[in-house]
Amino acid sequence: MSGVYPKDFKYTKTHEWIKVTGNIGRVGLSNFAQDHLGEIVFVELPEVGAELKQGESFGVVESVKAVSDCYAPASGKVVRVNEKLVDSPELINSDPHGEGWLFEMELSDPSELDNLMDVEAYEKFEAEEEAAH
């Protein structure tokens, strides 16, 4: 899977990613997550203005195979959601690291990003997860 994941993103053990620009983090699901969920048919996104804590559930993604909770990769306030996902949740499948992003948040504690994995650590973690299943 090397090369699938953007190098400037940080990743969680629950397969969310965050890309930080300044004090804003764009959040989405990794290719591994969308691949294992299958065809995504519904996404529950947090509301703009919601205060999230790192590791806290912020919504769900529903696929033809399962319903899965999603967890905030960092703490902060939701400033924008990807409205395209309301009518086109399959964007998460077709472009999980691009057009399929979920929401953007203003980070309250950027040092929390140190708790996340870089691309090399995430690819290793993903390989271990794959081997365990």
Residue-wise pLDDT tens digits, 29-76: 999 999 999 999 999 999 999 999 999 999 999 999 999 999 999 999
Q: Read off the pLDDT band of 109 (50, 70, 90).
A: very high
Nearest to 13 by CA among 125, 118, 113: 125
Using DSSP, state whether 84 is helix, strand or coil. helix
DSSP 8-class letter at 110: G
Domains in the chain, start-ordered, CATH in brackets? 10-109+116-123 (2.40.50.100)
pLDDT at 1 (0 to 100) = 46
pLDDT at 46 (0 to 100) = 98
Nearest to 46 by CA among 14, 90, 11, 85: 85
